[in-house]
Chain A
């Protein structure tokens, strides 16, 4: 079987890739993608810890399902905000957006 440490190491790598993308990309959609990668790493951590070493694996899956629901709601609101920002500023590049005043 896969040891908990291996799974947690994999989740750490996924989290690092997501953090790199969040810091480096300039498109708002690409930053949202990176954020979702980091959230997936968190879900893997919860499942690995509750299914390997915990006493209640069902609880971990319930928590991850709630996490997926919150992440889906966040993605829906964020994407519609990007469309609204593009409609008013005609751009979704964060560096050019931060130069605008007001």
Chain B
């Protein structure tokens, strides 16, 4: 077993375990912690695939930013002392059937496709990605920056408290 296989196996186990915690636990804070764990695992999978810059970005964006924003949203919107509502068995069963059916059919499809024998993944440096972003993909790069600006302004406007303090922030 090579080092790559070891890293991939450990990271995949962490990611799947974190994902199960993220959807399975009742407490929403535990869900967010499981989500952060799953994203760390996914970053490890990227590392084993030779995408080290992407792994760093994934940790920064998801563990560092999105999970923290989720914690803020939960603190502002969830009543802390309310007991979690009971889950209905029929809904759980139908969700398991639909998700299992979708994943199972994808799995069967994977088995039938003739995959080309993979070669060792080439290491991609951040410099190559940056050159590509400012070369061939410069339009997408600029559009993303505009999208992020608009999303940030929209988030501030939507979450702003209207009414008595309007206009005074």
Contacts and interface: CB of A to CB of B under 8 A. Distances in A.
B66 A52 contact: no
B61 A3 contact: no
How many A residues touch the partner, as a band? 35 or more
B33 to A, nearest CB: 11
Contacts of A37: 19, 22-23, 35, 38
Contacts, number: 227
Contact of A47 (B22, B54, B100, B140): B54
A20 B23 contact: yes
Nearest to B91: A24
Interface string B22-60: 110000100110010011001001101111011001100
Interface of B: 2, 4-5, 8, 12, 15-16, 19-20, 22-23, 28, 31-32, 35, 38-39, 42, 45-46, 48-51, 53-54, 57-58, 61-62, 65-66, 69-70, 72-74, 76-78, 85, 87, 91-92, 94-96, 98-100, 102-103, 106-107, 110, 115-116, 118-122, 124, 128-129, 132-133, 137, 140, 144, 147-148, 150-152, 154-156, 158-159, 161
Interface of A: 1-10, 12-21, 23-27, 29-30, 32-34, 36-37, 40, 43-44, 47-48, 51-53, 57-59, 61-62, 64-66, 68-77, 79-87, 92-93
